[in-house]
Amino acid sequence: MILPTLIWAVAVAGSVQDLGAPDDGKGPLALIVSQPGLRPLAYSTLSEHLEHGGYDAVLADSGIAPSQQLVALQQVLDAAKTSERKVLLVAHGYGGQALLQAGVSADVCATALVGVPRHPREAPWHAPYLDATVPMSGVDLSEPGPAVPAPFSSPRMGIPSAWLGRLPAAWGAHMKASLTAPPPALPDGPVWIAVAPLDELAPPETLGTVPNTVSVTRWGMLRGWTHDATFTDLLTDPRPVAHLTRWARSHCNS
């Protein structure tokens, strides 16, 4: 099973599709915001670890545009508010970056940013990507071409090919614009941030300056690992998400 519990809503072709009534639980939800271009399979391990930490995992699909992502998120937040369930927001990659630009809803008990680029920083893949023309139909990340961001096809990323799907044109345009845009503000309320030194899409340098009140966790050799962390490790290694669930306990489990 891709996600071990309910999925309340995903953005599909410009609308929100209801995938069934929520369960009868009263525990907190972990609402996962995905990186555009990655299939739901990419978040199966993360969701399982969130489940083990006491959360019901909910995946909001990124849709074909940032505005559709916001529709899917709001649907879940409204349903959670009606049933008086707290929501831990777990945002990843450029899906999280778009959410920061739009403004995180006050209806979440805490926000986790996992490999989210925030502050523009030059990287080798930027120049060819900015020059590329993204077709109206988007690009298939499993078939590298001139419009595909280089990190997705880099062996250093270690992304399983089964994770890669279509990057919609609107998201491609958003990613291009974000490379030269000012950094969005961090949300109010508790914020937990995970970074990986070898994350080529969102290296730690893209985080920028953050307040001392924000919990920043850098994963890899500086935390005693035998190797440095990558984009993929943030989603599949149990240690970051275990740290997250412990941190969020005082904000979302009371």
Q: Over the stretch 8-45, which tens digit does the pLDDT of each residue have?
A: 333 322 323 332 334 445 689 999 999 999 999 999 99
Query: 171, 93, 94: which is closest to 136 by C-alpha?
Result: 171
Look at residue 236 in the predicted model and tell me its pLDDT. Answer: 96
- Who contacts 27 (Cβ-Cβ below 8 Å, separation ≥6)? 54, 55, 56, 85, 253
Euclidean distance between CA atoms 102 and 114, whole angstroms: 17
Lowest-confidence pick of 129-133, 202-206, 234-238, 249-253: 129-133
Number of domains making up the chain: 1
List the strands of the sheet with 56-60, edge to edge. Answer: 56-60, 29-33, 87-92, 110-114, 191-195, 215-218
Write the single-letter amino acid at 234. Answer: L
Query: 131, 123, 124: which is closest to 206 by C-alpha?
Result: 123
Instruction: Give domain status of residue 43, yes or no.
Output: yes
Average pLDDT over residues 131-141: 85
Look at residue 142 in the predicted model and tell me its pLDDT. Answer: 85
The residue written with tokens 């491609």 in the block is 172
Give φ, ψ of 198 to 5 degrees.
-100, 20
The residue among 54 and 61 whose pLDDT is bigger is 54
DSSP at 135 = P
- The answer to whether residue 254 scores a pLDDT higher than 80 is no
Look at residue 5 in the predicted model and tell me its pLDDT. Answer: 36
Quote the percentage of the chain above a pLDDT of 70: 85
The residue among 116 and 130 whose pLDDT is bigger is 116
Write the single-letter amino acid at 45. Answer: T
Q: Which residues pair with 245 in a beta bridge?
A: none
Q: How far is CA 20 from CA 6, 23, 230, in A?
A: 8, 9, 35
Look at residue 25 in the predicted model and tell me its pLDDT. Answer: 59
- The answer to whether residue 122 scores a pLDDT higher than 60 is yes
Segment 193-227, tens digit of pLDDT: 999 999 988 999 999 999 999 999 999 998 999 99
Instruction: Give domain status of residue 130, yes or no.
Output: no
- The answer to whether residue 233 scores a pLDDT higher than 90 is yes
Quote the percentage of the chain above a pLDDT of 90: 67
Instruction: Give domain status of residue 162, yes or no.
Output: no
Instruction: Give domain status of residue 76, yes or no.
Output: yes
3-state secondary structure at position 92? strand
Band (4; pLDDT cuts 50, 70, 90): very low
Look at residue 130 in the predicted model and tell me its pLDDT. Answer: 83
Instruction: Give domain status of residue 247, yes or no.
Output: yes
Look at residue 12 in the predicted model and tell me its pLDDT. Answer: 28
Helix (H) or strand (E) holding 101: helix 93-102
Structural domain range at position 99: 9-122+183-252
Instruction: Give domain status of residue 178, yes or no.
Output: no
Strands 215-218 and 29-33: unpaired
Euclidean distance between CA atoms 62 and 6, whole angstroms: 17
Residue 213 burial class via C-beta count within 10 angstroms: exposed 0-12, middle 13-18, buried 19 and up: exposed
Q: Cβ(29)–Cβ(60) under 8 Å?
A: no
Look at residue 156 in the predicted model and tell me its pLDDT. Answer: 66
Band (141; pLDDT cuts 50, 70, 90): confident
Segment 161-184, tens digit of pLDDT: 899 999 999 998 999 899 889 999
CATH of residue 70's domain is 3.40.50.1820
Average pLDDT over residues 79-88: 94
Instruction: Give domain status of residue 151, yes or no.
Output: no
Instruction: Give domain status of residue 240, yes or no.
Output: yes
